[in-house]
Amino acid sequence: MTVERPGSVEECMPYVNVALNMEMSDEDARALAEKVSALASELTGKPERWIMARVEPGCAMCHGGSFAPAAFVEFKSIGLDEGDCGRLSRGVCGLLSREAKVAPERVYIEFKTLHGHLFGWNGGTF
């Protein structure tokens, strides 16, 4: 069996992890993960087949001294352009506001550029 490889290292990723302080059903968490994956593809122009999205509901998370709905997002990607972070932030905050009812001012996002040779996949690295 041949494993498809990305056309270029820059085509790979991102990994988006969304931690939420509210509970949701497995079905709702999976649906949100699918929407996060599609949005990451749309915003980065990278094929969705290389994107990994994870949603972690029910985290013990306090923001601003309150347990009102809040989210912490990790957005990591090979070849992430720092100039795109504002646009990515708007997109992620908009999605979380619509789909999870988290106000944009209660979302923190950590953007991180990764180097392909330091990220493993399929028994090797990118």
**Residue 86 belongs to what domain range?**
13-125
Domain containing residue 28: CATH number: 3.30.429.10
Q: Please report whether residue 118 resides in a domain.
A: yes
Residues of the chain with pLDDT under 50: none
The confidence score (pLDDT) of residue 73 equals 99
Number of folded domains that form the chain = 1
Q: Please report whether residue 75 resides in a domain.
A: yes
Buried b (16+ CB within 10 A) or exposed e, 8-39: ebbbbbbbbbbbbbbeeeeeebeebbebbbeb
Q: Please report whether residue 107 resides in a domain.
A: yes
Catalytic residues: 14
